[in-house]
Amino acid sequence: MTLEQVIVAGVAWLAANGHPGLSAPNYAQLDDVQMRTFGQNRGSVATNAAAHYWCSSQTMVLRTTFDPANLFHRSIVVHELVHHDQCTKQRLTFDACAREREAYDVQIKWLHAHGGSATAAKIQEWLNTNPRLCR
């Protein structure tokens, strides 16, 4: 499976689960140094993130280490696709906490639906114990 196929499958799953009318975003893959620079140049505090979504260019950026065979990595694409949906439909535009809550909730739901309940539980535990997140 390629990254493009993961994106298409994610868009289809989201359409069937309450996010209709979504098209695939632009996407790029960057190495660690490029990802850090990309985030810093755009004012991101999450320069070590596995992925970013930039609404202004409707672009999802993932690390070159993305592995389409990895269930967790595919769930990251779903998380970023939720941000793409929020952006293109101008939903939750000014509430960063609400945007992240929805993206993580959908990511966890996707993991449960795809046999990743143990991974979903780890993400939920991380969310519950990380005070910097808007939970």
Give the CA dihedral 67, 8, 119, 16, nearest 10 degrees: -170
List the CATH code of the domain at 3-129.
Answer: 3.30.2010
Domain boundaries, the chain: 3-129
Task: Tell which residue, 61, 34, 37, has the closest CA to residue 50.
Answer: 61
Average pLDDT of the chain?
88
Residue 70 has pLDDT above 90, yes or no: yes
Q: How many residues does the chain have?
A: 135
Which residue, chain included where needed, has tokens 């929805």?
102
User: 75-85 burial string, b = 16+ CB within 10 Å, else e?
Assistant: bbbbbbbbbbb
Q: Is the dihedral of CA 61, 63, 123, 18 positive or negative?
A: positive
Per-residue pLDDT tens for 5-58?
999 999 999 999 999 999 999 999 888 777 777 766 666 555 567 888 888 899
pTM over 0.85: yes
